[in-house]
Amino acid sequence: MSQYRIERDSLGEVQVPADALYGAQTQRAVENFPVSGIRFPRVFIRALGLVKACAAEVNAELGLLDAQKAQAIQQAAHEVVEGKWDDHFPIDIFQTGSGTSTNMNANEVIANRATQILGGESGSRLVHPNDHVNLGQSSNDVIPTAIHVSACLEVHELLLPALRHLHETLNRRAAELDNVVKTGRTHLMDAMPVRMGQEIGGWTYQVAQSIERVEGCLPRLVKLALGGTAVGTGINAHPEFASRVARKLAERTGVPFVESDNHFAAQSAMDTATELSAHLKTTATALMKIANDLRWMNSGPIAGLGEIALPALQPGSSIMPGKVNPVICESVMMVCAQVMANDVAVALGNQHGNFQLNVMLPLIAHNLLQSITILGNAARVLADTAVAGFTVNRERIGEAVGKNPILVTALNPVIGYDRAAQIAKRAYAEGRSLKEVALEMTDLSAEELDRLLDPLPMTEGGIVGKMEGGG
């Protein structure tokens, strides 16, 4: 048997691998764009399959597509949704800016598979990729639609559940450790005491706000470009096509998709994708802070802070026996850096909405979806492997708090800033306790100093005493 078959498009004949479900236009794109080896992710191919399946069903209901062909297209498209034909989507991300090559890739795979279902041979065009599978559509509205659909699915199914899980895990640890008083730090230098529950509570709030930001974007992300076809006017699409497809997508996914309010904006600008990317970047900065704080708190164990011990997951050095590194924190921090970089690419891509079409759609799709996926995975790993599992070195934390001359800050309202500073400097210089020096330099009793220098009440805020001469 021949290893190739001949398929045709408007430019002529093309040799296509005999067992490939794709056709001539896909093969041309494979040959034209040997750039990165990066393909569209699974969730994007899934979204394309959903769009094509719903489109075929609607076109049949509208009397525009033969019922038998429509049924075969739906079956083939559902196989694409399930990932059965992922190997037949070989085109590089760095391709034509509209994503036309990938839309035609989907059209050809679904058309040839539908042809097989109906008893025909691949390439015979019993089911036509343009006339039947792409009916009422253009790459210019299908690809922006698939970006929104895939992003919504990944946010709902992966990112938000992972962030909520991280939030719950942090909240639980904050409650467990709220009685641990530790040294606060500003500029990486000793500062007033805080409770570990308060510190973790700050991280918890950051994650909660990240969830709110992402959720706030979703009402715009569910609006789909489908129906605008070539330039936003809807040429060759039934007036009811887009709204009906959006309803079917909503029924199949549970996500409340609707037709865009303005097709010209939906196809020429990817503002909502850019907005979501910006929220992902903000979320990444929050996770970077949390992971980096945990890494610092874990540092040591002898010469560092040594406040906590992260779970020992793997040997940390090929030369230093016994060394264990904060590998989860480092992994999460690299994810966060990548998400921040991806946001730059998405923003630059959105700038290239020239007249009626954005011409960097594949770039936007790749970077946006990668950010959602890796951020969701990193959030869950951080929760389960670092946050849930670290232990606290209570003895070391308590000793550090008690010896810290910075506690003199609590005496400011009683003796004034200048005298408090003198006491702190002398305690530092002589290596003596704050209480011992304060007994020599003030009229305060030992009992009064014990009350004023107790670290726990300092974490509650307020004024512990009064200024000299303040009445």
Which range has the worst mean pLDDT, 235-249, 325-339, 430-444? 430-444
How confident is the model over 100-109, as a mean pLDDT? 98
CA 330 to chain centre: 17
Q: For residue 28, what are the contacts with CB-CB under 8 A and spacing of at least 6?
A: 9, 11, 14, 101
Q: What is the mean pLDDT of residues 71-86?
A: 98
Q: Judge whether residue 464 has pLDDT over 80.
A: no
Q: Which of 461, 441, 444, 459 is nearest to 401 (CA)?
A: 459
Percent of the chain past pLDDT 90, that is, above it, reads 94
For the cut 60, the answer to whether the pLDDT of residue 385 exceeds it is yes
Closest CA to 96 of 105, 88, 87: 105
- What pLDDT is attached to residue 157? 98
When pLDDT is cut at 50, 70 and 90, the band that residue 1 belongs to is: low
Split at pLDDT 50, 70, 90, the class of 113 is very high
Q: What pLDDT does 422 receive? A: 96
- Cα 465 from chain centroid (whole Å): 48
Residue 463 has pLDDT above 90, yes or no: no
Mean pLDDT for 288-296 is 98
What letter does residue 468 receive in the DSSP assignment? T
Contact 382, 291 (CB under 8 A): yes
Read off the pLDDT of residues 245-268 as tens digits, 9 standing for 90 and up: 999 999 999 999 999 999 999 999
Q: Is the pLDDT of residue 226 over 90?
A: yes
Q: Which fold is adopted by the domain 20-135?
A: Fumarase C; Chain B, domain 1 (1.10.275)
pLDDT value of residue 256? 98
Segment 85-95 shows an average pLDDT of: 98
Residue 434 is predicted with a pLDDT of: 92
User: Is 60 exceeded by the pLDDT of residue 470?
Assistant: no
pLDDT for position 466: 56
Q: How far apart are CA 310 and CA 382, in angstroms?
A: 11
Q: What contacts 316, CB < 8 A, 6 or more positions away?
A: 323, 324, 325, 327
Beta-sheet pairing, 223-224 with 189-195: unpaired
CATH architecture for the domain at 141-261+291-394: Up-down Bundle (1.20)
Tokens of 162: 């992972």
CA distance 311 to 298: 10
Are the beta carbons of 459 and 181 closer than 8 angstroms? yes
pLDDT, tens digit, for every residue of 36-76?
999 999 999 999 999 999 999 999 999 999 999 999 999 99
Rounded distance between C-alpha atoms, residue 318 and residue 158, angstroms: 35
Half-sphere exposure for 324 (CA within 13 Å, toward CB) = 12
Q: With a cut of 90, say whether residue 224 has pLDDT above it.
A: yes
Rounded Cα distance between 197 and 171, Å, is 9
23-27, 401-405, 451-455 — which is least confidently predicted?
401-405
**Average confidence (pLDDT) over 381-408:** 95
Q: What pLDDT does residue 402 have?
A: 87
Kindly list the catalytic residues: 187, 317
Query: What confidence tier does 29 reach under pLDDT thresholds 50, 70, 90?
Result: very high
Q: Is the pTM of this model over 0.85?
A: yes
Average pLDDT, the chain: 96
Q: What does the block give as tokens for 116?
A: 């097989």
- Fold assignment, 404-458: Ribonucleotide Reductase Protein R1; domain 1 (1.10.40)
The three-state secondary structure class of 217 is helix
pLDDT at 161 over 90: yes
Question: What pLDDT is attached to residue 471?
Answer: 34
pLDDT digits (tens, 9 = 90+) for 172-217: 999 999 999 999 999 999 999 999 999 999 999 999 999 999 999 9
Asked if domains 20-135 and 404-458 share a fold, the reply is no
For 96, 289, 357, the CA distances from 234, given in Å and listed in that order, are 22, 47, 14
pLDDT, position 469: 45
pLDDT score of 465: 62
- Domain map of the chain by residue range? 20-135, 141-261+291-394, 404-458
